[in-house]
Amino acid sequence: MFKSALLVVFSCLVICIHAQPVISFEKTELDIGVVSENDDIMIVPIPIRNKGDQDLIIKDVSTSCGCMLVEYSSKPIPKDSSIILKVKINPNNRPGYFSKTVSITSNTKPDINLIMIKGVVSARPRNPSVEYPVKRGNLRFLGSGFNIGAITTEKPIERRMEIYNDSDKEIKLLPKALLPAHIQLVVKEQVLKPREVSLLKIMYDAKAKKDYGFVNDYMELYTDSPEDSLLPISVFGTIEDYFPPITAKDLASTPKAVVEKQEIYLGRYGRGTEVQGSFTIKNGGVKPLIIKKIKPSCSCVSATMASDKLEKQQSEILSFKIKTNELVGSNVKTITLFTNDLTRHVVVLTVRFDVF
């Protein structure tokens, strides 16, 4: 009798553990393409399906931007049933590329799921000289360079730049562009219509760039316009290494970047004095710790390590020197380490000092 009761209790536990709601999406990244700033409020549908054995309940939905509102039902979603979340996006006064997230909290494990919605809002400028202040020949730009934002080494990423043709004639972008190997034009020959905004699209391969942190590239575009025959454009952003989702096995064996003291104050120095110091980096994990890149925040800072590979429990000294010729007052400089630690692949070391 006692064994039978235990069996029933155990069976119930197994059923309860496995009987869970499972939230499913057709896509977790939605590209709505190019829309006009003058368009009405857009509705982006997000289908949600319950592939689990218990009712799915949407507890809360939030967005990363005040330009987005979401309509949804908090009624339970039975097994194998679906609902549609309606995301309303207001493009008014929001020209340019956007990437926003919708955060969905439910009774699933994990309880929070993210959906990314991206696209471009284009508009004919009301005041081109104000909205596109950088002028080169007959072309206007939002800024002096092409900001690609924060990207990872997972895969090549498409980025878009707005160009306004401030003339009454078409201007053609010619295919003979001078580009770094890790940057490609999506459209190699393009027509920029008069008094309109066009989008310059590039594919940026961060893995092929082989760098981390802030990066700055240079490319040259050519047009059929005498005033704009050569367009020099800087491309800048930040790169981080891509790490796939961490498993329990990965967590147990990952290298661990350990720094006893991440921020130090070195005191006061006379201008022109070379400031020197060091940090101790230790591998507190199992697998070897690889320092992939050491990147100071200023050209006045140089930092080196004797070895970029630390075995289990091994420590190395990171030594740095700072030139103070152009510095004055209170100073804060950082040295960023990019590592293969799955839980802490970016380590920022901070150095504070005063120059008088």
Give domain status of residue 1, yes or no: no
Considering the domain architecture, whether residues 164 and 103 belong to the same structural domain is answered as no
Q: Per residue in 74-105, pLDDT tens?
A: 899 999 999 999 999 988 878 888 899 999 99
Instruction: Give the pLDDT band of residue 291 (cuts 50, 70, 90).
Output: very high
Q: Average per-residue pLDDT in the chain?
A: 90
Please tell me the total count of domains within the chain. 3
pLDDT (mean) for 323-345: 95
Give domain status of residue 167, yes or no: yes
Considering the domain architecture, whether residues 258 and 335 belong to the same structural domain is answered as yes
Considering the domain architecture, whether residues 229 and 306 belong to the same structural domain is answered as no
Q: Per residue in 162-200, pLDDT tens?
A: 999 999 999 999 988 999 999 999 998 999 999 888 999
How many Å apart are CA 43 and CA 87, to the nearest integer? Answer: 5
How many Å apart are CA 172 and CA 150, to the nearest integer? Answer: 30
In the chain the first and final C-alpha atoms are separated, in Å, by 86
Considering the domain architecture, whether residues 206 and 134 belong to the same structural domain is answered as yes
Amino acid in the structure at residue 98: F
What would you measure as the largest C-alpha separation in the chain, in angstroms?
A: 95
Final residue of a structural domain among 122, 143, 162: 122
Q: Per residue in 56-74, pLDDT tens?
A: 999 999 998 888 899 988 8
Give domain status of residue 9, yes or no: no
Considering the domain architecture, whether residues 278 and 206 belong to the same structural domain is answered as no
Q: What pLDDT is attached to residue 38?
A: 67
Q: What pLDDT is attached to residue 123?
A: 66
HSE (side-chain half, CA atoms, 13 Å) at 2: 0
Give domain status of residue 3, yes or no: no
Of 118-127, 181-190, 275-284, 313-322, give the lowest mean pLDDT range.
Answer: 118-127
CA–centroid distance for 104 within its chain: 20
CATH number for the domain spanning 268: value is 2.60.40.10
How many Å apart are CA 229 and CA 267, to the nearest integer? Answer: 53
Give domain status of residue 97, yes or no: yes
Of 12-16, 71-75, 148-152, give the lowest mean pLDDT range.
Answer: 12-16
Give domain status of residue 2, yes or no: no
Considering the domain architecture, whether residues 219 and 268 belong to the same structural domain is answered as no
Considering the domain architecture, whether residues 192 and 103 belong to the same structural domain is answered as no
Considering the domain architecture, whether residues 280 and 320 belong to the same structural domain is answered as yes
- Comparing C-alpha atoms, which of 284, 332, 335, 338 is closest to residue 311? 284
pTM: 0.61
Q: Mention every residue, 6+ apart, whose C-beta is less than 8 A from residue 262.
A: 279, 347, 348, 349, 350
Q: Mention every residue, 6+ apart, whose C-beta is less than 8 A from residue 5.
A: none
CB atoms within 10 A of CB 109: 9
Considering the domain architecture, whether residues 346 and 259 belong to the same structural domain is answered as yes
Assess whether pLDDT exceeds 50 at residue 111. yes
Q: What pLDDT is attached to residue 129?
A: 87
Assess whether pLDDT exceeds 80 at residue 326. yes
How many Å apart are CA 146 and CA 180, to the nearest integer? Answer: 14
Q: Are 332 and 350 in contact (CB under 8 A)?
A: yes
DSSP assignment of 139-161 equals EEESSSEEEEEEEESSS-EEEEE
Q: Per residue in 34-48, pLDDT tens?
A: 887 767 788 999 999
Final residue of a structural domain among 240, 275, 305: 240
Considering the domain architecture, whether residues 154 and 116 belong to the same structural domain is answered as no
Q: Are 277 and 320 in contact (CB under 8 A)?
A: yes
Q: Token digits for 275?
A: 């400031």
Q: What pLDDT is attached to residue 4?
A: 52
Q: What pLDDT is attached to residue 177?
A: 93
Most confident of 11-20, 129-138, 344-353: 344-353
DSSP secondary structure letter of residue 288: P
How many Å apart are CA 35 and CA 16, to the nearest integer? Answer: 47
Q: Per residue in 207-241, pLDDT tens?
A: 999 999 999 999 999 999 988 899 999 999 999 99
Give domain status of residue 252, yes or no: yes
Give domain status of residue 15, yes or no: no
List phi, psi (to 5°) of 108.
-100, 175
Q: What pLDDT is attached to residue 36?
A: 76
Final residue of a structural domain among 99, 122, 145: 122
The CA R_g of the chain, rounded to the nearest whole Å, is: 27
Q: What pLDDT is attached to residue 313?
A: 96
CA–centroid distance for 350 within its chain: 23
Considering the domain architecture, whether residues 113 and 136 belong to the same structural domain is answered as no
CA–centroid distance for 216 within its chain: 16
Share of the chain above pLDDT 90, in %: 72
Considering the domain architecture, whether residues 183 and 255 belong to the same structural domain is answered as no
Q: Mention every residue, 6+ apart, whose C-beta is less than 8 A from residue 33.
A: 119, 120
Residue ranges making up the domain that contains 338: 248-355
